[in-house]
């Protein structure tokens, strides 16, 4: 069970990736975002788009992020999906928020998953 803190934990794994303390398999980067392959893919294609700024989750991001950062994340998802060849057959984006979602890494990120039919949510 994940225990998520109220404050941003600078020792979370994505913070370490952003500080180049641990490697990632980078797909895309811009001023506000970094995208890389998930280390334990749950689909044939499974990428993560994370913010460079420290937000705990989408809830935190939606409250505090500047509009240009929100645009950047939205656009990055589209760019990464296209780069990974997911446009034709489609894909799923997901962002887990807090305990009930099963969020493991307390740094805001979107999952991009595809490469097979993803099934019905529910
Ligand atoms: P979530 O449960 O939404 O917080 O998802 C966290 C995701 O991060 C999981 O799919 C993990 O497989 C992935 N992950 C954890 N550590 C790494 C890492 N070092 N590099 C890439 N992906 C990672």
Q: Is the pLDDT of residue 4 over 90?
A: no
Which among 12, 27, 38, 93 is the best mutation to test ligand 1's pocket, defined by most ligand atoms within 8 Å of the CB?
38
Q: Is residue 121 part of a domain?
A: no
User: pTM, whole model, 2 decimals?
Assistant: 0.96
pLDDT tens, residue by residue, 66-87: 999 999 999 999 999 999 999 9
Rounded CA gap, 30 and 80, in Å? Answer: 11
Q: Which CATH number covers residue 67?
A: 3.30.428.10
- 41 CA to centre of ligand 1 in angstroms: 9
Total of domains in the chain: 1
Confidence band, pLDDT 50/70/90 cuts, at residue 6: confident
Cα 8 to Cα 87: distance, rounded to the nearest angstrom:
34
Atom of ligand 1 at shortest distance to CA of 105?
A: 4
Do the domain assignments include residue 99?
A: yes
Residue 104 tokens, joined:
């493991």
Residue 122 confidence (pLDDT): 74
CA separation for the pair 68, 32 (Å, rounded): 9
Whether 122 is covered by a domain: the verdict is: no
40 Cα nearest atom in ligand 1? 12
Domain presence at residue 5: no
116: left (phi over 0), alpha (psi -120 to 50) or beta: beta
């Amino acid at each position: 069970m994940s225990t998520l803190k109220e404050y941003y934990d600078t020792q979370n794994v994505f913070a370490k990736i952003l500080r180049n303390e641990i490697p990632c398999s980078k797909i895309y980067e811009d001023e506000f975002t970094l995208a890389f392959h998930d280390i334990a893919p749950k689909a044939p294609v499974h990428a993560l788009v994370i913010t460079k700024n420290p937000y705990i989750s989408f809830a935190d991001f939606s409250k505090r992020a500047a509009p240009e950062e929100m645009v950047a994340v939205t656009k990055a998802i589209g760019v990464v999906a296209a780069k990974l060849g997911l446009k034709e057959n489609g894909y799923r984006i997901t962002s887990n928020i807090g305990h009930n979602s099963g969020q493991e890494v307390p740094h805001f990120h979107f999952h991009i998953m595809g490469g097979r039919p993803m099934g019905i949510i529910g």
